[in-house]
Structure 1
Amino acid sequence: MYDEDDLAEIRDAKDEWEDETLDPVLDAYGERKDRFATVSNLEVDRLYTPDDVADLDYEEDLGFPGEEPYTRGPYPTMYRGRTWTMRQFAGFGTAEETNERFHYLIDEGQTGLSTAFDMPSLMGKDSDDPLSDGEVGKEGVAVDTLRDMEILFDGIDLAEVSTSFTINPSAPVIYAMYIALADQQGVQREEIRGTLQNDMLKEFIAQKEWVIPPEPSLDIVTDTIEFAVEETPKIKPVSISGYHIREAGSTAIQELAFTLADGFAYVEDCLDRGMEVDDFAPQLSFFFNSHNSIFEEVAKFRAARRIYANVMDEWYGAEKDASKQLKFHTQTAGQSLTAQQPLNNVVRVTIQALAGVLGGTQSLHTNSFDEALALPSEKAVRVALRTQQIIADESGAADIADPLGGSFAVESLTDETEEKAMAYIEEIKEMGDGSVRDGVLAGIEQGYFHREIQDASYEYQERVEEGEETVVGVNKYEIEEDTRPDILKVDEETQQRQLDRLAEVKDERDDEAVEAALEAIDDAIQNDENVMPAIVDAVKAYATMGEIMQVFEAEYGSYQETVNVA
């Protein structure tokens, strides 16, 4: 992108600057650290010039927003057309309490709902399961049957709202409940909008919530994708998630590489199913973490779009623009939040949210300042939402498409991130003898991802403990006073109220219809058919989450992780 003679002049000028301007200052004052690096320990230079991006080809590597390789964004106008979806995570207690929070957020200007589920629901257990005792409604909303879903969305028109569901092993059941609810409301299935996380590969890599083994779990994810293409084209049936990989301790580059590898694994599984890439790829979505190193994060998001566009084109033959446009949700980094001096988290979240916006996210969740202590309070949720609104309406960050594009530092970091992430992806592909899907499955079985993330996490914590990495209020700028805010506490009667409702549903439903519906799911499994139609029928009969998931566990068995530490 630069003339070689101009580059030579810049190199000479930089050498002269270092000798005459920089070195005297370094000799007299030095710098505050011997080494400067990102949160992921990626070393950054003192100064970047055109020489650091000398090989950049503008049209091939950057282009324009809305055009390949989408480095500068998937849409031509970006946020000048409309801002990102402000999708705040909400869920606690019973469906009534979360419904109240949903209405509160909508009234405060939120533009999309995002549902958090309690641990029993996440693990496909009913609230009356012995293993659920003490966990019902504690870290999200309890959902056992379609009755809970009816209450959860009471007074909310599914034709008007976009809803995200953060759930994985039991995601097909929640998806079926949402479809059944739309049918009840008279909303056409092709009109309902939202996103299902439903990313089982990252569960085996990082978050560790599963019911059945990896391969059948992958098959069911592919069932949901296939069903969504035909029935709910505005639903994203899987949100391929790097967020939890990063929360487990990975670097930004590992987060990017492992997330994209999972995405390519789903693509390959769908292709093997006989689906056409341009039929399903536009419905795939991604979910990334945004941490404190603002330029590293922006580079990660930009590199993600470029890698995805090139791989979908060159490896999988995608032709539609929508098949090559990586679109993603961003959440600020939960693991960066501190219980010490929690109001400091407002600043952290603002920086992280700004990185997501400067990096071109399509939707955004900003964590509440009290989340290191408890489920977010109403006050903290409002501050988190206002943070997005101030960035959108007051900062000017939303007025320019890819405002950091062309920065020598950001372009250099984008190139470096792409190169290092692709090296990981190629290694995973090699582990699968040319198949990314088989490489991901092999990596799960061999403990490859576990080791990589564990090593990165250990190295980060070591830097914190040695003071090389500053965490304000934790290992520097500490204070003695109690800074704990008032926190949200889930009513201890929540579990009993949920158990009473579940018992009432079981008492009122048609048991023979439930039994027949569960047998139909088993028949679909046995006959290698898509299981989603049978699950939809089962939830309409008020079969429970646990009853449906038990059918899969009976067929495939449970899964026990074995980690090879060698």
Structure 2
Amino acid sequence: MPEKHESEKTKWIKDVEKTLKRFPERKETFHTSSEITVDYLYGTEDANYNLGYPGQYPYLRGIQPTMYRSRLWTMRQYAGFGSASETNKRFRYLLEQGQTGLSVAFDLPTQIGYDSDDVMSEGEVGKVGVAIDTLADMENLLDQIPLDKVSTSMTINAPAAILLCMYIAVGEKQGVSSEKLTGTIQNDILKEYIARGTYIFPPKPSMRLITDIFAYCQEHLPKFNTISISGYHIREAGSNAVQEAAFTIANGMAYVDAAIASGLDVDTFAPRLAFFFNAHNNFFEEIAKFRAARRIWAKIMKEHYEAKEPKSWKLRFHTQTGGSTLTAQQPDNNIVRVTMQALAAVLGGTQSLHTNSRDEALSLPTEESARIALRTQQIIAHESGVADTVDPLGGSYYVEALTDELEAKVMDYLERIKEFGGAVQAIEEGYMQREIHHNAYETQKRIESEEEIIVGLNQFKLEEEVNPDLLKVDEALEKAQINNLHKVRKKRNQEAVDQKLEALRRVAIDEEANLIPYILDAVKAYASIGEICNVLRDEFGEYTGF
């Protein structure tokens, strides 16, 4: 049989050679976005087929035995703009349309810990997300949304502890105890230093805030994901798939190291770690990336950290389709791109998913565009059949070979980062930043030379395009938000606010103290995000760059 197979393959290769003389290939070489060479054909000799089973270590084929046959991924559309009341209307609309979880986008001042009336906030209030100054805004944001039934993801990092405390306080006002709250805070400061830039404090106190959250949630919010270790923004900054997976996993290891160093047992916090990945256009590479990352993390947690609980080995992840892949030209083409990316995430085994809207290269999404994006997920879930069996591409010669090659390249990066002393030191040396910048530059060169085709951008262009209707944030919003903040300040008990902020200042100096209870007290007194962050700025300092 092997001899017959070999002779058949030899005959096929001769046929290929004949065909190529008549019809040369479209490109000199074919490769993925990570520069992995793609061969003509893949077969049994190209990959390891000891795949294991879904729900079993090392979870290559998924973290649950039945995956989507039992429960579909959470459809968690990212939304937030203008005021808390406006965003609340969008949230309720999306829930009515069948969305199964909330995902909050905050405006830039909120992300970097400034109040809406701060001079640093001028012109940015409510523009790229919802403005949150005090607990009153969070109450409006979550009005009539039952927190014991809806999980909420919050894309917030440097001030994550403050927004989490606001969420806890709203839950209490609804009569929902913290033990019942479900959701995720992004809380990933390392990728801010690498790729995104919405940091406030230097690395050491920033890592303290994160481990304080781990410890507090372990006792008080057992169902809440304490961090979403984010490769999404690393990819948006220009990395390739291999770099995205490698740098994200390296950051994850840094958080595990910090938590263990603070005295936490790995099995007490590891089950609540979550990840956040991007989905780009190279369909099979994205699927392989998700599968490889799952296997790598399982091995690291079991073998390197010697975690004993299977839940500690599982890489649970949210996916968002690639914002940087969207084009302002011919924006309806983005619906097709998003569909492919979402399908890759599902075939890769994601636990939750956000699909970008067609107009996001131009503005915040309109209601119609947001509905189409949600409907994309629903059609994949209920009409395509891809959710009816577990890991349907498992055993594909190409997918398994690509998964193995991606894993090997990710491990090479992890070894290099280890030589620096870990992720924090590699970031301080600028290593990850340089790697991302180099890849972004090379990608842009390929696009400009048309080696890489972007439909509607450098090929298949239209002479005249119809401008779509875009969502515009009312310029009057900033003034209204500032007026509301001033009303809260007049109404609250200022003496109580001052006492809570002074108590926070005292414990900030004590590195052994957990800051979260003190932040929660300040939040409940209606201290603003800017006031709380300014106390911490005074004690921790501000980060100005490596």
- Band the TM-score falls in, shorter-chain normalisation: over 0.9
1-side partners of 2:267 and 2:90: how far apart? 38
Per-residue deviation at 1:11? 4.8
Q: Which amino acid aligns with 2:357?
A: S
Could you state the TM-score of these two structures normalised by the residue count of structure 1? 0.95
Residues 4-28 of structure 1, C-alpha deviations (whole Å, 9 max, x = no match): x84x764553232111x21111111
Match for 2:281 among 292, 296, 317?
A: 292
Structure 2 residue aligned with 1:30: 24
Write the mapping of 1:70-85 to structure 2, written as runs, cut at 5 A: 70-85=59-74
Structure 1 counterpart of 2:85: 96
Residue 424 of structure 2 corresponds to 441
1:164 aligns with 2:153: yes
Taking the TM superposition and a 5 Å limit, the aligned residue runs for 1:93-492 are 93-432=82-421, 439-492=422-475
Query: Structure 1 stretch 409-418 or stretch 36-45: which is displaced more?
Result: 36-45
Q: 1:533 aligns with which of 492, 517, 532?
A: 517
Is the partner of 2:148 in helix, strand or coil?
coil
C-alpha separation in 1, matches of 2:166 and 2:363: 28
Q: Which moved more, 1:371-380 or 1:477-486?
A: 477-486
Q: Which amino acid aligns with 2:298?
A: A
Secondary structure in 2 matching 1:113: strand
Q: 1:13-46: CA deviations, max 9, x gaps?
A: 3232111x21111111111111112233322111
CA distance in 1, matches of 2:235, 2:466: 27
TM-score by length of 2: 0.98
SS in 2 for 1:288: strand
Selected match of 1:17 from 12, 19, 22: 12
Unpaired runs of 5+ in structure 2? none
Runs (4+) of structure 1 moved beyond 3 Å?
8-13
Q: Deviations over 1:71-108 (max 9, x none)?
A: 00000000000100000001000001000000000000
In the aligned structure 2, how far is the partner of 1:504 from the partner of 1:165?
26
Q: For residues 524 and 49 of structure 1, do their structure 2 counterparts lie closer, same or farther at Cα, with a shift above 3 Å needed?
A: same
CA distance, structure 2, for counterparts of residue 215 and residue 10 of structure 1: 60
> Among the aligned pairs, what percent are the same residue?
55
Match of 2:529 among 538, 545, 550: 545
Which letter does structure 1 place at the counterpart of 2:362? L
Q: Deviations over 1:173-194 (max 9, x none)?
A: 1000000111111101110100
Q: How many residue pairs align between the two structures?
A: 545
> Matches of 2:241 and 2:190 in 1, distance apart?
18
Cα deviations by residue, 1:326-375 (Å, 9 ceiling, x for unpaired): 00000000000000000000000000000000000000000000000000
Distance 2:323 2:7 in 1: 45
Q: Distance in 1 between matches of 2:8 and 2:508?
A: 69
Which ranges of structure 1 fall in alignment gaps of 5 or more residues? 433-438
Match of 1:560 in 2: 544
Is the contact made by 1:11 and 1:51 (CA closer than 8 Å) also made in structure 2? Answer: no
C-alpha contact (below 8 Å) 2:49/2:400 kept by paired residues: no
Partners of 1:90 and 1:12 lie apart in 2 by 58
Cα distance in 1 between the residues matched to 2:395 and 2:327: 34
Aligned letter for 2:9? K
Aligned amino acid, residue 206 of structure 1: A
Q: Contact 2:49–2:395 (CA<8 Å) still a contact in 1?
A: no
* Kept in 1: contact 2:327–2:334 (CA 8 A): yes
Report the residue type matching 2:8 in the other structure. Answer: A
Given that 2:275 and 2:315 are in contact with CA atoms closer than 8 Å, whether structure 1 keeps it comes out as yes
Looking at structure 1, the residues matched to 518 and 16 of structure 2 have their Cα atoms a distance apart, in angstroms, of: 70
The whole-number CA distance in structure 1 between the counterparts of 2:316 and 2:343 is: 17
Checking the alignment, whether the CA contact within 8 Å between 1:341 and 1:484 is kept in structure 2 is no
Q: CA deviation at 1:483?
A: 3.1
Asked whether the 8 Å contact 1:342–1:483 carries over to 2, the reply is no
C-alpha separation in 1, matches of 2:415 and 2:42 = 29
- The offset of 1:225, in angstroms, is 1.1
3-state DSSP of counterpart to 2:187: coil
User: What do you get for the CA RMSD once the two structures are aligned?
Assistant: 1.0
- Change in Cα spacing, 1:287 to 1:9, as seen in structure 2 (3 Å) is farther
